[in-house]
Amino acid sequence: MANLINTAEMEELTGAKAPAKQCDVLRKNGMRFTLRADGRPSLSWEAYNRQLAAEAIQHQGFSQGPRLEAV
């Protein structure tokens, strides 16, 4: 099973205690998460880090594929 972000970590990451506010913060930051039956967001550390890495690559202007103009 994936290492899920626990309740305390989610509060620290989002700065919110209420699950609805946590969901709002995650959405505003483009994070994809699963909504649990109790209304709390569920997100694994792997998915969180993968999304951050993808955003960093986009912001640095890296393109997908080889740079043929450099050859």
Domain residues for the domain of 21 are 1-50
Determine, yes or no, domain membership for 43. yes
Determine, yes or no, domain membership for 58. no
Determine, yes or no, domain membership for 62. no
Determine, yes or no, domain membership for 60. no
Determine, yes or no, domain membership for 36. yes
Q: Residue 71 CA to chain centroid, in angstroms?
A: 36
DSSP labels for 8-29? HHHHHHHS-SSHHHHHHHHHHT
Q: Residue 31 CA to chain centroid, in angstroms?
A: 4
User: What is the number of domains present in the chain?
Assistant: 1
Token output for 42 = 């569920």
Instruction: Per-residue pLDDT tens, the chain, 71 aa: give them.
Output: 579 999 999 999 999 999 999 999 999 999 999 999 999 999 999 999 999 888 877 766 655 666 667 66
pLDDT at residue 65 in the model: 65
Determine, yes or no, domain membership for 66. no
